[in-house]
Amino acid sequence: MKMFQPGIHTISMVERGGVFESGQPIYLHDKVQGTYTNLQNGDYTFTANVGADESRFEIVYETGAVLGTDSMVKKDILVYRDGYTFVVKASENITQIQVYDTSGKLISVQ
């Protein structure tokens, strides 16, 4: 984040897409204030001075948690590429696979 003027500033979510259209919370974590704001519920207003601050904010999808799989049941799944084809092998029967790009947009259902 780079501020060109001191004072009160606002961060807003303009558009939702992909998995976020269904209401997945998107939180802005202000590390200076120690707050989490669900941007789907409204804007975040803060005060800042002129200059760059690359460590103040982060986007998270759960408050107070690090993204990971600690609370989830891990399954034996292997995914690899064979030429132009992705191969998925699992210890259980998989009935559907959904592929998302890095912005959260659904790009394929198999």
Q: What is the pLDDT of residues 3-46, one digit of tens each?
A: 888 999 999 988 877 777 777 888 899 998 989 998 888 899 99
pLDDT of 67 reads 46
pLDDT of 87 reads 83
pLDDT of 8 reads 93
Q: In whole angstroms, how far apart are CA 60 and each of 8, 15, 25, 30, 99?
A: 23, 17, 9, 11, 21
Query: Is the pTM for the entire model greater than 0.95?
Result: no
CA distance linking residue 36 with residue 14, whole number of Å: 18
Residue showing tokens 């993204």: 67
Q: Are 29 and 56 in contact (CB under 8 A)?
A: no
pLDDT of 74 reads 55
